[in-house]
Amino acid sequence: MLQDLEAISDAAERSGAIIRRLRDLIANREMERSSHNMNRLIREALEFMDRDIEDSGTTLHLELRPALPPVLVDSVQIQQVVVNLVRNAIEAMKELPDRSLTIRSIADDTGNVEVAFSDSGSGLGDIPIDSIFEHFVSTKRDGLGVGLAISRSIIEAHLGHLAVEQNADRGMTFRFRVPGANESLDGEAGSVGS
């Protein structure tokens, strides 16, 4: 029994060290921000996920608002958040017959851009919604529970916000919002719906 507890403690310390290094990497890495079309970033991230989406039997619906204002972001980091949220949605739906994921992009009156990921998954189970972004909290049987915490850190580093809510019928909606860039996008602003 004591050996088991020591093994668990050692594993928790190693996981904690990994998380601290990842957070330090995000915090200390100089972000390479430039103006981007959020719809384009979403579509590029989804190209990496094509096989996963197809193999999972997930029906993907894109509702991307045309002519969004540009955002000033580190494209790699934002695409990592998109990939993580899509993977989480696929995982949440894997045991269900109806697997549907809708990704929406919108802009508000102040130029903020919001992206929402609504799945038809099993929800959070017994996990309190307030704790979902904490380290080591996971709905996955083999999950470490670091992906959402890191995603939130990335969005907050972009002066944005990442939130979650339970859908009225079933599943969850994760949404992140980042400020729009106050500059024009050479050639990208005209790429309606891209």
Q: What does the mean pLDDT of the chain come to?
A: 79
Q: Is residue 108 part of a domain?
A: yes
Per-residue confidence (pLDDT) for residue 126, from 0 to 100:
62
Average pLDDT for residues 148-177, to the nearest whole number? 90
Q: Mean pLDDT over residues 170-185, rounded?
A: 81
pLDDT of residue 186: 37
Smallest CA-to-CA distance from 183 within 97, 71, 43, 103 is with 71
**Residue 134 exposure: Cα atoms within 13 Å on the Cβ side:** 7
What angle is formed at CA 140 by the lines to CA 167 and CA 17, rounded to 5 degrees?
Answer: 120
The answer to whether residue 165 is domain-embedded is yes
Residue 189 pLDDT > 80: no
For the domain that residue 116 is a member of, what is the CATH number?
Answer: 3.30.565.10
pLDDT, position 21 = 54
Per-residue model confidence as pLDDT tens digits over 44-70: 999 989 999 999 999 999 999 998 999
Assess if residue 20 is contained within a domain: no
Question: What is the number of structural domains in the chain?
Answer: 1
Residue 7: predicted pLDDT:
66
Q: Looking at the whole model, is its pTM more than 0.85?
A: no
Domain containing 67: what range? 32-178
